Amino acid sequence: MYSCILFQRNLIVFVEEGTVKPEDLSPTVLRKIRHFVSEKDDLTDKIDFIVTLGGDGTLIHASTLFQVGEL
């Protein structure tokens, strides 16, 4: 199912390092997954859409990934 959605829409999925184990995914899906490290990688020009699963803390963490410059 995942591979069908990823390839029909030509999506690249970014996941935080350590959240998805490569051995849990098929090689087809694995080619469309990119891991990132939140403290090191700049995602501001790579992400068009974000989905978070969790509570308030998860949403706050996700928002910190896209802060540019100082407030």
Q: Using CB atoms within 10 Å of the CB of residue 20, give its burial: 0 to 12 exposed, 13 to 18 middle, 19+ buried.
A: middle
Report the pLDDT value the prediction gives residue 57, as an integer from 0 to 100: 92
State residue 16's pLDDT score. Answer: 83
CA-nearest of 53, 48, 5, 51 to 28 is 5
pLDDT 10s per residue in the chain (71 long)?
455 555 666 778 888 888 888 888 888 888 888 888 877 777 777 888 888 888 999 888 888 887 766 55
pTM metric for this prediction: 0.63
pLDDT confidence of residue 34: 85
